[in-house]
Chains A and B, each alone.
Chain A
């Protein structure tokens, strides 16, 4: 399968300090990869995911997309393909539908159109009907908020999802819903998608991942 994203010897250290948050991290994400990252708190898992999405500056190494370096001006396009999902869902206070329509206000998604039927089908897949779209985001539970955030990302058809412990604070049923949604997104494309999922739950890792990476003190290795 073709390589989608490649991190070469990524390094990130604290300003004015000797402490490396990431050190010599090299990783390939190929189409069809279902990867999990595990490791203790503070090992650098979030730092890694944010670096892969090029959300934070890094001090060494490079990120390549389809075997090419990513130029500064291409980074918004890159992030439309490599979407980072926060551990705690970030939502506007308005309705669920407003939150789902939000990305289409961006220049980069202007050619796409919000497909209400498609998102309704996705919500129905996890047991919510169309009326859920009218619900104010402030009234959602943490799990419901995470479902909205995930569907908001999925509807944009990214090539890679970087999932930062999306089920960490959720009950078992909602966690399963999140897993089902990600599996559905993963399987619906013929061109091959991939995800990198940070999780502390070893049973979940067994269900979602074909390859597991262990992070320790900013370094990564295959488990």
Chain B
């Protein structure tokens, strides 16, 4: 099989847009009041992708380590912030915790991929590999981190009395918080575990589909996908665990006190 693909033009984009218009018409007809959101989402999709396309074009052409790092650093900060935006209960320092965990976990996984698994990539920062890799890991890690942080806040809030009771009976802060921490990490990991359970059976993952469309042999596309899934799962595990533990350290001080007042104070 040759690495060839059919180039798209504005005509095909226009045709695909007709589908969104049909959706909008259905919304109007059924009075779903989704047409405005749909239009906004479609316009944002176009603008955001065109902009990132321009940036990627520039970075791919430049292919310098600092340009690649700058771009992925920007993506990391946005991912960390997005993880916090999806949480219901926040505390001072949650942005730092989320960005730090997303950053360390994603970059570690990407470094492992580039320096160990794809060590033939030369130079190591080659934009063609590094940017999509980091992007995929970041996108999934942010979901895990946000689910984990959200669940931790919910658990501690709804079981505040039990947490305090444990402390009054002489529990350490870890003993008092352990159940909430475990639930939070589990919640962060569930989506990727579910994805791994059904991958290839119910749907073909985006990257594999992209590679198949680009003409890559199915066996190679599958191998890439397996590696990516494992990297993503490890990134989520590390990121979620890191974010949840950092939160735990902020919400339980060295005096084994549960600083409940910090939750929701942002």
Query: Are B169's CB and A153's CB within 8 A?
Result: yes
With both beta carbons as reference points, the residue of chain B lying nearest to A106 in the complex is identified as B171
Contact with A along B221-258 (1 / 0, CB 8 A): 00000000000000000000000000000000111111
Query: Are B254's CB and A72's CB within 8 A?
Result: yes
Query: Are B169's CB and A83's CB within 8 A?
Result: yes
Contact with B along A94-116 (1 / 0, CB 8 A): 00000000110011110000000
Interface membership of B164, Cβ < 8 A: yes
Contact with B along A69-97 (1 / 0, CB 8 A): 00010011101100111101010100000
Complex CA distance for A57 and B261, rounded to whole angstroms:
11
Query: Are A55's CB and B170's CB within 8 A?
Result: no
Residues of B within 8 A of A109 (CB): 169-170
Residues of B within 8 A of A153 (CB): 169
Given known contacts A55-B257, A57-B257, A90 and B169 CB-to-CB distance under 8 angstroms: no
Min CB distance B176 to A, Å, is 9
With both beta carbons as reference points, the residue of chain A lying nearest to B171 in the complex is identified as A106
Which of B165, B169, B253, B261: most chain A Cβ within 10 A?
Answer: B169
Interface membership of A59, Cβ < 8 A: no
Min CB distance A47 to B, Å, is 13
Min CB distance A46 to B, Å, is 12
Interface membership of B259, Cβ < 8 A: yes
Given known contacts A90-B162, A90-B164, A92-B162, A76 and B171 CB-to-CB distance under 8 angstroms: yes
Min CB distance A125 to B, Å, is 22
Query: Are B165's CB and A156's CB within 8 A?
Result: no
Interface membership of B264, Cβ < 8 A: no
* Interface set, chain A 199-219, CB cutoff 8 A to B: none
Query: Are A79's CB and B257's CB within 8 A?
Result: no
Query: Are A79's CB and B168's CB within 8 A?
Result: yes
Complex CA distance for A106 and B173, rounded to whole angstroms:
11
Given known contacts A76-B256, A90-B162, A92-B162, A15 and B261 CB-to-CB distance under 8 angstroms: yes
Query: Are B170's CB and A79's CB within 8 A?
Result: yes
**Cross-interface CB contact of B256 among A75, A84, A90, A103, cutoff 8 Å:** A75
**Cross-interface CB contact of A108 among B170, B253, B258, B261, cutoff 8 Å:** B170
Q: Interface size for chain B: under 10, 10 to 19, 20 to 34, or 35 or more residues?
A: 20 to 34
Given known contacts A80-B170, A106-B171, A108-B171, A57 and B253 CB-to-CB distance under 8 angstroms: yes
Residues of B within 8 A of A86 (CB): 161, 164-165, 168
Complex CA distance for A86 and B261, rounded to whole angstroms:
18
Residues of B within 8 A of A107 (CB): 172, 175
Complex CA distance for A15 and B161, rounded to whole angstroms:
22
Min CB distance A54 to B, Å, is 6
Min CB distance A11 to B, Å, is 16
Query: Are A106's CB and B166's CB within 8 A?
Result: yes
Interface membership of A139, Cβ < 8 A: no
Interface membership of B136, Cβ < 8 A: no
Residues of A within 8 A of B255 (CB): 54, 57, 72, 75
Query: Are A90's CB and B165's CB within 8 A?
Result: yes
* Interface set, chain A 134-156, CB cutoff 8 A to B: 152-153, 156
Interface membership of A56, Cβ < 8 A: yes
Min CB distance A157 to B, Å, is 12
Residues of B within 8 A of A156 (CB): 169-170
Complex CA distance for A90 and B171, rounded to whole angstroms:
15
Complex CA distance for A109 and B170, rounded to whole angstroms:
8
Query: Are A80's CB and B169's CB within 8 A?
Result: yes
With both beta carbons as reference points, the residue of chain A lying nearest to B163 in the complex is identified as A90
* Interface set, chain A 36-60, CB cutoff 8 A to B: 53-57
Min CB distance B217 to A, Å, is 55
Complex CA distance for A166 and B254, rounded to whole angstroms:
29
Query: Are A77's CB and B162's CB within 8 A?
Result: no
Complex CA distance for A86 and B256, rounded to whole angstroms:
18
**Cross-interface CB contact of B164 among A54, A55, A76, A103, cutoff 8 Å:** A55
Complex CA distance for A165 and B9, rounded to whole angstroms:
76
With both beta carbons as reference points, the residue of chain A lying nearest to B161 in the complex is identified as A90
Interface membership of B108, Cβ < 8 A: no
Residues of B within 8 A of A15 (CB): 261
Complex CA distance for A85 and B171, rounded to whole angstroms:
15
Other than the given A76-B256, A84-B168, A102-B169, 8 more pairs (CB < 8 A) read A56-B257, A72-B254, A79-B167, A83-B170, A86-B164, A88-B161, A92-B162, A106-B172
B residues whose Cβ falls under 8 Å from a Cβ of A: 161-162, 164-172, 175, 253-259, 261
Question: Could you list 22 A-B pairs, sorted by A, with CB under 8 Å?
Answer: A54-B257, A55-B164, A55-B167, A57-B253, A57-B255, A76-B170, A76-B171, A76-B172, A77-B170, A79-B170, A83-B170, A84-B168, A86-B164, A90-B161, A90-B162, A103-B170, A106-B171, A107-B175, A108-B172, A109-B169, A109-B170, A156-B169
